[in-house]
Structures are given as structure tokens and as C-alpha cells.
Amino acid sequence: MKFIIDHFLLVGIAVLSGGALLWPVLTQRGKKASPQQVTLLINRGKATIVDVRDAAAFGEGHLPDARNIPLGELDKRRGELEKFKNRTAVVVCQKGTRAFGAAKILEKAGFADVVVLDGGIDAWKTQGMPITK
């Protein structure tokens, strides 16, 4: 206890930095799916893939049959996905962090089942899953 009192600034910095490291994990709300789980959804024909990266990144490689709607345009273009509301919407970004914002937009638009590809396209490639160019 004496150490904490004598070094309150050091302890405060340690607690603050630990909180900063945990913040991204704590703020991600929503369902995540591993590349294997997404593969099962695709194979069963129950998924619509929404890639929210920009067109250049999408052109470098994407999941098969993915629809490219950049995150900044998703709110305006969500009507393109209306006919897929009864399917699971799988949202994909580069690393799996920006996709949570897109998932919230789709949930507000009435999509009942929205999941985020855990780790994004990077995790998909790491697992050796197929990429379409």
C-alpha cells in the first residue's frame, strides 16, 4: 500500500495505459464469426457478404460474391441490400474493427442477423480461405 501511495503517478499511468489497451475490446459490441463460421454460412447459402472497404482495397481481393459498399456510403446505399434482410449479413473490413460500425447501421435498418468477420479480410487470408479479384 505504501508503494501505491508513494508512486501514485506511476500507478495511475499503468492503470490508464491498461485501460487504453482494453478500450477497443470493450467497445466492440455485436456478433463476431470466425472465417470457418462464415464459410459454413456461405456454403449453406444463408449469408450476404458486405465488404465495407474502399473500392481499391476491394479490387485487391475480396470474399467470393461479396458486395462492395464502402462504410461512408453504407447509410445511403443500404437499400441495395433490402432483398437480403432475411439472410445473415456478414460485414467485412480489413482487420475487423470498422465493420462493427457498419453492423450497427445494418441492424438499425432492420437486418435481424448481422455478424462481423472476426479479424477481417486479413484473418480470412491468414486462414488460406479463397479470395476473388
Q: Which residues are catalytic?
A: 93
C-alpha distances (whole Å) from 127 to each of 109, 118, 119 are 31, 12, 11
Neighbours of 3 (CB within 10 A): 9
- Grid cell for residue 114: 448481422
Amino acid residing at 13: I
